[in-house]
């Protein structure tokens, strides 16, 4: 069926299919002459998922490996397994990730939901104690394209406030990311940061290149993600036919099916697949760098997924593979943005 967005002003949307660098990629001039830049992203979403305590009618199905989550219309008493998957993130998964990143002295950018920062402020304190970057993933783990724009702006502002409140330093997140944005999420984010008296540093809501680039219309610097090098993605069934059937006051617009790289086809069926694909991506980009055209890649991880022991072993193997190579720059995403603005200012 067709689906109509809520009333939104789409004038600020970037042109579709922008031409990019048209084969003439700039030399990023990565620090130290690095051949490739590798960005690690940790998604912190537990507590922000669909749950009855958050006023939702259905248990969370997005990025959830329980079979119960895939049926969408189950009442909450049938969704306790679904909720428990998210509990694994705070009880065990996040700590596993911290242990691995400490072991290899790796920086990361923490993409954290505002509600998650309220429920589990340890996300923020542990990240800040390691010098990690804080990035807003909006307030809830929702389909913002299906919500009213006023709700999206309210949530964007609440997310900044929640993250800043959980921070011992009162840190305002440098940027934002949304896996399920609306057509106006970009302009909403810019406005939300303005309300706090700061400028949005850059955007992570892009997948269009292996180098940062500026929006043709809005001028925002995009530091692109690598969705294939992620322990989640591919083929999400949005089930928009259920949107209008959702009862109030739930903010959850629909119960999606649960498709993820590690969870459903056509994704990673094992840690071996995860390692093979992402190490191959790294090797390809490293070779391009050796040949004089350095690029970047992002490895995005969800603690509730990647930290299961059978998967964690291959994350460790991947990190060790990357660390064996010379000329690899591993920064936070804000460091990438700062470097790009200095080396390649917007014209």
Contacts of 22 (CB under 8 A, 6+ apart): none
Query: Higher confidence at residue 232 or residue 238?
Result: 232
For residue 8, give the nearest of 149, 146, 143, 192 by alpha carbon: 149
Measured CA to CA, the distance from residue 63 to residue 311 in angstroms comes to 15
For residue 175, give the nearest of 141, 208, 198, 209 by alpha carbon: 198
**Average pLDDT rounded to a whole number, residues 207-222:** 91
The least confident of 11-15, 114-118, 326-330 is 11-15
The token pair at 60 is: 């969370």
Which percentage of the chain shows pLDDT scores above 70?
75
- How many other β-carbons are positioned within 10 Å of the β-carbon of residue 91? 12
**Average pLDDT rounded to a whole number, residues 70-87:** 60
pLDDT, averaged across the chain:
83
- What's the pLDDT band for 60 if we cut at 50, 70, 90? low
User: How far does Cα 18 stand from its chain's mean position?
Assistant: 22
Structural domains of the chain in order of their starting residue, each with its CATH number = 32-64+73-343 (3.20.20.370)
pLDDT digits (tens, 9 = 90+) for 130-145: 999 999 999 988 888 8
- What's the pLDDT band for 89 if we cut at 50, 70, 90? confident
For residue 138, give the nearest of 163, 120, 121, 119 by alpha carbon: 163
Measured CA to CA, the distance from residue 162 to residue 142 in angstroms comes to 17
The token pair at 218 is: 């809005």
pLDDT digits (tens, 9 = 90+) for 237-252: 333 333 333 333 345 4
Measured CA to CA, the distance from residue 208 to residue 273 in angstroms comes to 24
Measured CA to CA, the distance from residue 279 to residue 274 in angstroms comes to 8
pLDDT of residue 108: 99
Contacts of 233 (CB under 8 A, 6+ apart): 227, 260, 261, 267
Instruction: Give me the residue label for tokens 């089930």.
Output: 239
Measured CA to CA, the distance from residue 67 to residue 70 in angstroms comes to 6
pLDDT digits (tens, 9 = 90+) for 158-202: 999 999 999 999 999 999 999 888 888 888 999 999 999 999 999
Contacts of 95 (CB under 8 A, 6+ apart): none
The conformation of residue 86, written as its DSSP 8-state character, comes to: H
CA distances from 270 to 152, 155, 309 (A): 36, 36, 11
Query: Higher confidence at residue 47 or residue 169?
Result: 169
pLDDT of residue 296: 99
């Amino acid at each position: 069926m067709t689906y109509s967005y809520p009333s939104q002003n789409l004038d600020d949307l970037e042109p579709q299919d922008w031409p990019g660098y048209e084969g003439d990629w700039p030399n990023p001039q990565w620090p130290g002459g690095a051949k490739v830049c590798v960005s690690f992203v940790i998604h912190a979403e537990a507590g922000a998922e669909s749950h009855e305590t958050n006023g939702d009618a259905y248990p969370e199905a997005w990025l959830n490996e329980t079979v119960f989550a895939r049926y969408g219309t189950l009442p909450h008493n049938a969704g306790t397994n679904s909720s428990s998957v998210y509990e694994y993130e705070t009880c065990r998964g996040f700590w596993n990730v911290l242990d691995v990143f400490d072991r290899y002295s790796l920086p990361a950018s923490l993409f954290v939901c505002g509600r998650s920062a309220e429920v589990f402020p340890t996300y923020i304190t542990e990240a800040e104690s390691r010098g990690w970057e804080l990035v807003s993933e909006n307030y809830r783990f929702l389909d913002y394209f299906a919500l009213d724009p006023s709700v999206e702006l309210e949530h964007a502002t609440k997310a900044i406030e929640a993250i800043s409140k959980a921070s011992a330093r009162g840190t305002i997140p440098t940027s934002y990311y949304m896996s399920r944005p609306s057509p106006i999420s970009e302009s909403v984010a810019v406005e939300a940061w303005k309300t706090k008296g700061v400028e949005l540093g850059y955007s992570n809501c892009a997948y269009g290149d292996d180098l940062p680039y500026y929006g043709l219309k809005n001028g925002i610097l995009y530091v692109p993600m690598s969705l294939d090098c992620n322990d989640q993605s591919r083929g999400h069934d949005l089930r928009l036919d259920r949107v209008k059937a959702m009862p109030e006051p739930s903010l959850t617009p629909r119960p999606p099916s649960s498709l993820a790289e590690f969870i459903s086809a056509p994704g990673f069926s094992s840690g071996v697949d995860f390692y093979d694909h992402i190490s191959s991506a790294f090797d390809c980009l490293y070779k391009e760098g050796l040949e004089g055209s350095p690029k970047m890649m992002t490895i995005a991880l969800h603690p509730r997924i990647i930290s299961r022991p059978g998967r964690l072993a291959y994350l460790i193997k991947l990190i060790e593979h990357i660390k064996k190579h010379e000329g690899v720059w591993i920064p936070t995403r804000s460091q990438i943005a700062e470097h790009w603005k200095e080396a390649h200012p917007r014209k």
